[in-house]
Homo-oligomer: A and B are copies of this chain.
Amino acid sequence: MTTPFGDRLAAAISKKGTPILLGLDPHLDLLPSPFDGAADAHRDVNERAELIGDFCCQLVDVCADRVPAVKPQSAFFEQLGSAGVAAFERVCDHARAAGLLVVGDVKRGDIASTADAYARAFFDPPMGIGACDAITVSPYLGADTLEPFAKAAKTAGGGLFVLVRTSNPGSGAWQGHGAPPVSELVAAGVHALGADTLGASGYSSIGAVCGATHPDQLTTWRQLMPHAFLLLPGYGAQGATAKDVSGAFRPDGTGAIVASSRGIAFAYRTGHTDWKTAASEALDHMRSDLAGALPGGA
C-alpha cells in the first residue's frame, strides 16, 4: 500500500531540509533563451510545447537536490492546447523520476461523477493526465463536491490542497464574507475531510491553500486545521517575506510549504545571464531566508 501523501510530504521536507514548493509556471513571455521560442505564435504548437516542457524539466534538474516538491501550474500548459497538456504530463513524470512530489496546480472543482472524472485525470496515471501526488481543488461548489476528490486521493495515496484563502488582493470579498467568514467554514471542511487520512507524521493528506499575503491570518488557519499541510502562495513576487509565513508553521517548524515560482524560475531576469545559475542561487537564497525565519530552525 502506498504511504499516505501527508506522511510522504513530511518525509520529503525533512529529507531536503526545507519546506519549499518549487512552482513550474512556464510564462511564455518570461522564458530564457533558447526556450523563448515558445512565445512565437508562428511556430508549430508541438515545438512550442516541447520548449516549455524542456524548460521545466531542466529547472527540475537544477533544483531537485534541494526541494521536496514541485507545483506545475496547469494553465501555462493548457494555453498550448493538448500539446501543452502532453508537456504537463512529461514534466510530472520527470519530476517524479527525480524523486520529487508533484502538486498539480489545477484548481478543479465539479459535482459527483464529473469530480470523479477530474480525480481520475490526475490520480490515475495509466489513464489520465496523471502522475500527480496531490492537486489543488476549488471549494465553491460545496463540501459534497470535495468528497470524490478526497476519496480518489486516498485510494491513490495522494493528497489535496483545498483553496481556503487565496493570495490575490481581492480574495477577501467573497472568501471573507459572513461571520464566521466562508473561508473558515471551508477550513473546518478541510479538517473534517482529512480526519481519516491522519498519518504517522501527525499530518493528514488533505491540505489547504492559504495566501502568505495575509500573514495575520496564518495562525488562525494553523489552529483551525491542526493536521493539515498549509500551501502558502505569495512569497517573493507577491510580497510576502519569510517572517510573514512563519505563523503557518507549528513550533517545530513543520506543517507548511512555501511556494515560489517566478522568483526562482525567472531569477535570471534581474541581471544574470545564465538562467540556471540564477535559479540555483535564488533557490539557495530562499532556503537560507526560510531557515532563518521559521520556528524550530527548520
A-to-B contact residues, CB < 8 Å: 25, 27, 41, 45, 73, 75-76, 78-86, 88-89, 107-115, 117-118, 120-121, 124, 126-130, 138-145, 163, 166-175, 177-179, 182, 185-186
**Can you name 20 A-B residue pairings with CB atoms under 8 Å?**
A27-B117, A75-B117, A75-B118, A78-B117, A78-B128, A79-B128, A80-B127, A81-B128, A82-B86, A84-B128, A107-B138, A111-B167, A138-B138, A138-B140, A138-B141, A142-B166, A142-B170, A143-B173, A143-B174, A173-B185
Task: Beyond the given A107-B109, A140-B166, please list 19 additional residue pairs across the A-B interface where CB-CB is below 8 A.
Answer: A25-B114, A75-B115, A78-B117, A79-B128, A80-B128, A81-B129, A82-B89, A107-B138, A109-B138, A111-B167, A140-B175, A141-B170, A141-B171, A142-B170, A142-B172, A142-B173, A145-B166, A177-B185, A178-B179
Residues of B within 8 A of A111 (CB): 166-168
**Which residue of chain B has the shortest Cβ distance to A88 in the bound complex?**
B82
Structural contact, A170 and B144, CB atoms closer than 8 A: yes
A85 to B163 CA separation, bound complex (whole angstroms): 25
Minimal beta-carbon separation of A280 from chain B (angstroms):
24
Minimal beta-carbon separation of A30 from chain B (angstroms):
9
Structural contact, B171 and A178, CB atoms closer than 8 A: no
Residues of B within 8 A of A127 (CB): 41, 45, 79-81
Residues of B within 8 A of A169 (CB): 144
Q: Which of B84, B114, B129, B173 contacts A76 (CB 8 A)?
A: B114
Q: Which of B110, B139, B141, B142 contacts A75 (CB 8 A)?
A: B110
Minimal beta-carbon separation of A130 from chain B (angstroms):
6
Copies of the polypeptide in the assembly:
2
Residues of B within 8 A of A145 (CB): 166, 168, 170
Residues of B within 8 A of A163 (CB): 140-141
Q: Which of B73, B129, B143, B175 contacts A142 (CB 8 A)?
A: B175
A185 to B173 CA separation, bound complex (whole angstroms): 9
10 closest Cβ pairs, A-B complex: A178-B178, A144-B170, A142-B170, A82-B86, A75-B117, A78-B121, A140-B140, A82-B85, A111-B168, A79-B120
**Which residue of chain B has the shortest Cβ distance to A125 in the bound complex?**
B81
Structural contact, B117 and A76, CB atoms closer than 8 A: yes
Q: Which of B79, B88, B174 contacts A186 (CB 8 A)?
A: B174
Residues of B within 8 A of A141 (CB): 138, 163, 166, 168, 170-171, 175
